[in-house]
Structure formats: C-alpha cells, structure tokens
Amino acid sequence: MSSKPLADKRYAAITGRTIVYSVLIIVAIYYLVPLLLMVLTSFRSMNEIRLGQLIEWPKSFSTEAWSEAWSQAQIGARDEKGLRPYFINSILMVIPAVSISTILGALNGYILSFWRFRGSDAFFAILLFGCFLPFQAILLPMSQTLGWLGISGTLGGLIFVHVTYGIPFTTLFFRNYYVNIPGELIKAAKLDGAGFFTIFWRIILPVSIPIIVVSVIWQFTQIWNDFLFGVVFSDPDSQPVTVGLNNLVNSSTGEKRYNVDMAGAIIAALPTIVVYVVAGKYFVRGLTAGSVKG
C-alpha cells in the first residue's frame, strides 16, 4: 500500500487545523483588544492620556484610577463614595438570587421528569413562555407586585424579581438534563421505599453537578450584568454595580477621567470574567449533556 494517500490525508488535516486556529486567533484578538485597551488605560495617568495616543503602552503604571473608582469617586448624591457600596449590593443580591432560582429550577425539573401529574406538559409549556418575555413587558406588573409585597426599592425586591424571571430558564436546564436519567433508577428507588426528597437528595443531586454549574453561571451572568431591573426596582441605597457604573460615567463634572471610567468598568465586569475563566469548560459540558432530548 502506497504511503502517498496517507501523507495527503495528514497534510489536509494539518492544513484544516491551521485554518481553523488562524480564524479563532483572529476572532480572539478582535474581542480581546478592547479589553486590553481598557486595562492599559486604567493604569495610565490623565496627563499621559491627554498628551499621548489612545492606544499606547503606559509609560508608568499607576493604580490611582482603580483606587478612585473603588472608594473615592463621587457618584451622584450618595454620602458613600466609589463603586464599593454598589459592588457589595450586587454580591448581596446575586448570591441568594442564584441559589434560590437554581434550587427551585432543580426541584421543578425533578418533578416534571419523574413525578409527572395531569397537566404537567401544559404547566411546563406555560413556564417556558417566561423565557421569551422581554424585560420591558414585566416592568409594570412587577412594580405593582413589589408594592403589594412591601419590598419595592429594596434588595429583597431585586432578589424576588431575578428569582421569578430566572425560574423558567433553570427549570428548562434541569428538566432537559433529568430526562436523560433512566426512569428505572427512580422506580427502583421507589420500590426500596425511598421518598420524594430522599431520591432527590441521594440520587438526583449527586449526578446534577454539570447542570448545576450551567445554571449558576447562566444566572450569575444574567443577574450581575442586569441594568434595567437594577435601575427600575431599586432605590439609591440598593442599586447594583451596573447602575453605579452608569452613574460614575455620566455624573462626573469637569474633566472626563477616562482612566477612572475604565477601571470602574473592569471592576464591574471582573466577577463574571472570573466565573467564566474558572468554570467555563463545565458550562459547555453541562449544556451538551442536557441537549440530547427536548
């Protein structure tokens, strides 16, 4: 057997990978250049920015802009300065909102997969309708609901809004993941006398790590980056970091301090970047694991 066809196939494979990697590198550079520009600008002084070029390596690295964005810049009429109080509000909001919506989504998916009831398909279809509702469509009814509950303009109200809006998505993730688990496993557990929560805690949850990671990343990103709910349903003391960043950029007077704005933008985006860097590969695995059946 001649070795020439084998060599041609190997050459074609190497050429194909080279083209794919080249395209991926170009796309990565296209998306990373703005981030690099933000980082470099945040470490430059205003004198250097005024006298130099827009894209230029800093002549000296300074963390003054980061310090000012975090705790010294006057944002609106608040007594507390900088993005720090807004950042803390976002942490106090995102942790319970992500936890509650993920737990409720897991329970919903578990029930819709293994404890089906009359009308469960219609219930699931109605629940999925919530995935397609635009944010703007629920502003007025949600404002009325928060007023009735007495939590309007509070962090509790923001948590309630994000949990309510996130449940359809988390239910979809978990339900599509659980339908791939053999039903015989659950039936055998029932024959052994295991109840609803015993099966959920000892059988379902241990095999749910990939989809839990997907749900946490999805919800964390959606809630942390949200601006509309944050600006509509909060008062000045409960505003999240996205609203604080908007106020920082738009409420400054006198000279525009680009280095402070860039440092503030990176501070606001840092948690989501860290989450994706740490758990990004599990996000893809979890999505593909739950995409076999609809």
Least confident of 39-48, 148-157, 259-268: 39-48
Q: Are residues 139 and 255 in the same domain?
A: yes
Claim to verify: residue 43 and residue 83 sit in the same structural domain: no
Asked if residue 294 has pLDDT above 50, the reply is: no
Number of domains in the chain: 2
The whole-number pLDDT of residue 290 equals 57
Q: Is the pLDDT of residue 247 over 50?
A: yes
Domain that holds residue 28: 6-61
Whole-prediction pTM value?
0.84
The answer as to whether 132 is a domain residue is yes
pLDDT surpassing 90 at residue 280: no
Q: Residue by residue, what is the 3-state secondary structure of 271-294?
A: HHHHHHHHHHHHHHHHHHHCCCCC
pLDDT for residue 54 = 67
The mean predicted confidence, pLDDT, of the chain is: 86
Say yes or no: 182 and 157 in one domain.
yes
**Stretch 116-136: mean pLDDT, rounded?**
86
- Assign 3-state DSSP to the chain and report helix, strand, coil percentages, each to 5: 75, 0, 25
Cα distances from 55 to residues 18, 35, 36, 256, in angstroms, run 30, 12, 10, 17
Same domain? For 151 and 41 the reply is no
Same domain, 224 and 265: yes
Query: 188 and 158, same structural domain?
Result: yes
Q: Is residue 214 part of a domain?
A: yes
- Looking at the structure, tell me whether residues 125 and 13 fall in a common domain: no
Distance CA 139, CA 228 (A): 9
**In terms of Cα–Cα distance, which of 38, 43, 37 is closest to 55?**
37
Rg (CA), the chain: 25
